[in-house]
Amino acid sequence: MSTAPPFPAADPLGEALHVLRMDGVFYCRSELGEPWGMTLPPTPGCLWFHVVTSGGCRLTVDGAGGRDGAGDGADRELRPGELVVVPRGAGHALRSAPGVSAPDIRSIPHPVLDGRYALLRHGGEGPVTRMVCGAVRFSHPAAGDLVASLPDLVRVEPSPIGDRVQDTLRLLAAEVERGGPGSDAVITRLADVLVLQAVRGRLQADAATRTGWLGALADDRIGRALAAVHREPERDWTVAALAATAAMSRSAFSARFTELVGESAMGYVTRWRMHAAAEFLSGGSGTVAQAAHRFGYRSEAAFARAFSRVVGEPAGRVRRHGLAGTADALAAFRS
């Protein structure tokens, strides 16, 4: 089972984003007449994004303030051409102006077109703000390592014409304004690209994120070993095999790995293997016994014990119901 991504080893962040895989869960194109407001409840496991294509609004993120990517709190004015991402699904409110009532978005009618794309028309008779909003999630359980390194609010402001994020924003805005056959599909694809660009840009720009897991990925030798585990979690890895992949002695590799990653090499292998097993079981097509065999366990009981210890849920429950708390809270948005 190889999941080798189409990125060279020199792009550890691109490889990490590929392995973790981002899935779109809910998208909404909004036309909002002043005065208007809406509150989005907490949705653990999801990254919310908002793009203002015309008009403007204010965004307030619950409990943030200290880790805003813009550096000045999480109560922000959003203007056309700006993109914001709320990485950890915190509750937040959007308003045309401070003090305007902001009801729960789930109480506002929004026809859903294909199970995950909605149209929202809301507010008064004043000037109209047009936005594209949505929720995405990284499907791999190990995405917590990446998301935890992001600030409470990632904000991408308008920048020079050649900036790739702005190029995508312009395409998105044009699609929202003009519409036409297939417009919904184009908007969702562009929105996904925008979120990935914002996350990648933030991680590349912030020196604080180049430590720990991401820093280890960027290390020439330890990064090679991590990439090998990500690509082949089912392989019978040993410290010696990983050290050989990194072209290091066992002792030097073990010390360097623990220093950068914060846990032993074999502890990381087990944790990543169980994350891969959780993804396999969440699909519902494989049994616990098959997962145990696939990921190198001779005993289903031994696999089940390791799975519960690492994932925090019994393997059988994950197979039947999926991982708890990933995107269940979004069901109301799609009804």
State residue 202 phi and psi, 5-degree precision: -65, -45
Residue keyed to tokens 């996350």:
199
Q: How do beta strands 22-33 and 117-123 pair?
A: parallel
Q: Convert the pLDDT of each residue in 152-186 to its tens digit.
A: 888 877 655 346 777 887 787 777 767 677 777 88
The token pair at 176 is 């929202």
Nearest to 290 by CA among 330, 234, 247: 234
**Cα 126 to Cα 201: distance, rounded to the nearest angstrom:** 36
Read off the CATH number of the domain in which 242 is found.
1.10.10.60
The verdict on residue 334 lying in a domain is no
Does residue 281 sit in helix, strand or coil? Answer: helix
Final residue of a domain: which of 210, 244, 263? 210
The pLDDT score that the predictor gives to residue 324 is 57
Domain span at 134: 12-210
Average pLDDT score, the chain: 81
What percentage of the chain's residues is helix, strand, coil (to nearest 5)?
A: 45, 20, 35
Q: Convert the pLDDT of each residue in 84-106 to its tens digit.
A: 889 888 899 999 999 999 999 88
- The answer, yes or no, to whether residue 312 has pLDDT greater than 80, is yes
* C-beta separation of 36 from 122 below 8 A: yes
Average pLDDT (185-189) is 81
Nearest to 154 by CA among 188, 189, 200: 200
Average pLDDT (217-226) is 85
* C-beta separation of 85 from 91 below 8 A: no
The verdict on residue 2 lying in a domain is no
Is the pTM value of this prediction over 0.85? no
Final residue of a domain: which of 210, 237, 272? 210
